[in-house]
């Protein structure tokens, strides 16, 4: 399989898994969605806010823009706002990925972190990093859902492959 196909499949899987988790959150009250439970981020709301903000940051970086700060979690007060903003970011990510070719994945990209650190990597590594980051936090979402008494959806990659990422 070509690297571009893997990147596109990774992006498809990312949103398939995200949608399953957002759907699972729909049964929660607003208080439970924002309830501090501990972890990397205090609540499901803040975990999802971070995930949306990071996707927004990465697509900006891939397009050559420097982002000095993430969107604050306070801009994501409800599940509906999280879903709406994330859909907009998804459109940007998909548009960017659809414009890529194999050669563009190899080009080095210089990024500046929100702490002012500079990195240079081929674009494909930055996309893999982004996908891994989202997977890491999806695991935390699974734990937080369990802590709130919600059975989390199964979001294993091969289940997504079998579901063709589209169902």
**Rounded-to-integer distance, Cα 12 and Cα 7, Å:** 9
Provide the residue count of the chain: 167
**Alpha helices of 35-78 — where are they, by DSSP H?**
44-62
d(CA 119, CA 158): 32
pLDDT tens string 14-66: 999 999 999 999 999 999 999 999 889 999 999 999 999 999 999 999 999 99
pLDDT of residue 46: 98
- CATH fold group of domain 3-101+109-162: 1.20.120
Q: Return d(Cα 99, Cα 82) in angstroms, integer.
A: 26
- pLDDT value of position 165: 78
Residues 6+ apart with CB under 8 A from 51: 18, 86, 134, 137
Q: What is the pLDDT of residue 18?
A: 98
Angle at 51 between CA 47 and CA 55, to 5 degrees: 170
Give CA–CA dist 135/131, Å, rounded.
Answer: 6
Kindly tell me if the per-residue pLDDT of 167 is higher than 90. no
Distance CA 27, CA 20 (A): 12
What pTM value is reported for the model? 0.95
Residue 164 is predicted with a pLDDT of: 84
In this structure, is the dihedral angle defined by the CA atoms of residues 117, 75, 14 and 149, taken in order, positive or negative? positive
Domain ranges in the chain are: 3-101+109-162
Q: What is the pLDDT of residue 1?
A: 66
**pLDDT, tens digit, for every residue of 91-148?**
999 999 999 999 999 999 999 999 999 999 999 999 999 999 999 999 999 999 999 9
Contact 146, 37 (CB under 8 A): no
Averaged over 64-81, what is the pLDDT? 95
């Amino acid at each position: 399989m070509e690297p571009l196909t893997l990147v596109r499949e990774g992006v498809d899987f990312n949103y398939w898994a995200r949608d399953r988790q957002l759907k699972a959150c729909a049964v929660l009250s607003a208080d439970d969605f924002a309830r501090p439970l501990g972890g990397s981020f205090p609540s499901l709301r803040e975990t999802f806010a971070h995930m949306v903000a990071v996707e927004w940051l990465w697509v900006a970086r891939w397009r050559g823009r420097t982002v000095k700060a993430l969107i604050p979690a306070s801009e994501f007060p409800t599940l509906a706002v999280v879903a709406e903003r994330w859909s907009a970011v998804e459109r940007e990510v998909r548009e960017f990925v659809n414009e890529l070719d194999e050669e563009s994945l190899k080009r080095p990209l210089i990024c500046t972190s929100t702490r002012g650190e500079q990195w240079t990597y081929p674009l494909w590594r930055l996309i893999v990093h982004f996908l891994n980051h989202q997977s890491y936090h999806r695991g935390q979402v699974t734990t937080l859902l369990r802590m709130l008494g919600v059975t989390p959806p199964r979001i294993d990659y091969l289940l997504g492959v079998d579901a063709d990422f589209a169902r």
